[in-house]
Structure 1
């Protein structure tokens, strides 16, 4: 059974055009463990917990049905409690004596007391170094304050507005016309996953650039010319990271996302929210000529 499921992993990987090195780079699973999964050699995996995690990560990467992933994980034998290491002689050693415990606590309390005493002495020393203002100085300051005449500031109520000032006041700022129109034309499905189709129009005949910014960790791939087109980039990025800008040509730009809710689509200076719920999604972006 394990060998059959492992063979299914390998067939799905080859169907998607991934090498073992590609899977290792994306999932961070070592190549020897990937080969062990594909060969059904569960005994070569590094332990019960890691084995299940590796199978789940690899299965999601190649699009394996979740029920088959769980079925493969159930083939992993539970850890044998008899193989757990027995208590060593060190663990059975007698606890430290109460005398040693009290000595340690006494040393700690003495140290804390010394530190508090030094802090108190420092505060007293700083307070004694501050100069004291004499009574004569206080009287002189009070006299200068009472004898100083108060002056009302010259104020000008409702100053006249000159014609020059009126003409130089800026008018209300108008919104910037970016010259780019982004429209989601439809939502369909591809391989049982949601697929959004976008059309981008440059009304000022300017170049169009596509960029992804990430609010959460997400695996992605971008291809030119559709789902089986030329691979431009495939990687996993995290919060605060962005991809390089990719120029949108006449060919369709195809984007596959593992966690669409953690990604924002940027078309020049236009920001497009892709999804509000986590999960995989396909995106097709096509350039359309302005009418």
Structure 2
């Protein structure tokens, strides 16, 4: 075992990862990971992949891959021009790209024709509706032969007008307005970062739900204020993990691989302040 392999293995064991766990995190076959720890680079597909696998291994266990490659560059085989050219995928020719474009156009052509036909029908119906004649309305002309009987002026003045007695209005009782209690908004505040651990304060709110959305597979470890392990499991890519932490005063979330993965509390995203692969997020609740 080389000095570089011993250092990587020590960092892996400190994280509590097995070779199988590291294979799930880095997507590197475990025979290559074992070869890196033992210094057996002959099993690798080429010198270019040796350096790439070492850097990915180091970042997965919390080490700086570039610094390791620089410190042990004499112990690691250097990539040749052939290795670099093999790692670069070939660019498709213009003819193949043109063929794909024409095939897609021919597939979409029937849908385009149907859409234009539907639009034409809608336009024709709209034009016909606009030109629809309005219904004729019957006009009632006044009849000159209708006589209005008028009462004599004397009869109109003999009747006294009736005065309606109005009841006194009762005073309206004042309506008491309900005073709304002020709503305390939740506020997530960043406190500090020490190493791979970042601390946040969450004020306001009564109930707290912790959510982890995994775009990439990662190892998830959650502890409470007494450092008691609540969750210690792998979360697959595309999986969403939720945990009710209302009864806790503090929670610590540790992700083995942070790139592409999201941690939120009550739908407020808790940012990862650093570029480290493995990070801890400590959230302190102040209700």
Q: What band does the TM-score fall into relative to the shorter chain?
A: 0.5 to 0.7
**Counterparts of residues 26-105 of structure 1 (less than 5 Å):** 26-66=25-65, 67-72=67-72, 75-79=76-80
2:269 pairs with 1:272: yes
- Label 1:46 to 1:226 Cα distance change in 2 as closer, same or farther (>3 A): farther
Greater Cα radius of gyration, structure 1 or 2: 2
Are the counterparts in 2 of residues 209 and 246 from structure 1 also a CA contact under 8 Å? yes
Deviation string, structure 1 residues 17-62 (Cα, Å, up to 9, x no partner): 1111111121122221111111111112222333222211110011
2:283 pairs with 1:282: no
2:18 aligned partner: 19
2:200 to 197, 201, 217: 197
Are the counterparts in 2 of residues 186 and 198 from structure 1 also a CA contact under 8 Å? yes
Which runs of 5 or more residues in structure 1 are unaligned?
A: 85-140, 152-173
How many residue pairs were aligned?
200
Deviation string, structure 1 residues 236-259 (Cα, Å, up to 9, x no partner): 665x75323353543742223444
**Counterparts of residues 56-205 of structure 1 (less than 5 Å):** 56-66=55-65, 67-72=67-72, 75-79=76-80, 149=136, 181-184=186-189, 186-189=191-194, 192-193=195-196, 195-199=198-202, 202-203=205-206
2:262 aligned partner: 263
- Label 1:195 to 1:26 Cα distance change in 2 as closer, same or farther (>3 A): same
| RMSD of aligned alpha carbons | 4.5
- Label 1:32 to 1:145 Cα distance change in 2 as closer, same or farther (>3 A): closer
Q: 2: distance between equivalents of 1:61 and 1:45? A: 19
Q: 2: distance between equivalents of 1:145 and 1:73? A: 86
SS at match of 2:240: coil
- Label 1:209 to 1:263 Cα distance change in 2 as closer, same or farther (>3 A): same
Q: 2: distance between equivalents of 1:182 and 1:61? A: 32
Are the counterparts in 1 of residues 191 and 200 from structure 2 also a CA contact under 8 Å? yes
Structure with the larger RCO, 1 or 2 (CA within 8 Å, 6+ apart): 2
Which runs of 5 or more residues in structure 2 are unaligned?
A: 86-127, 139-179
- Label 1:146 to 1:249 Cα distance change in 2 as closer, same or farther (>3 A): closer
Q: TM-score, normalised by structure 2?
A: 0.53
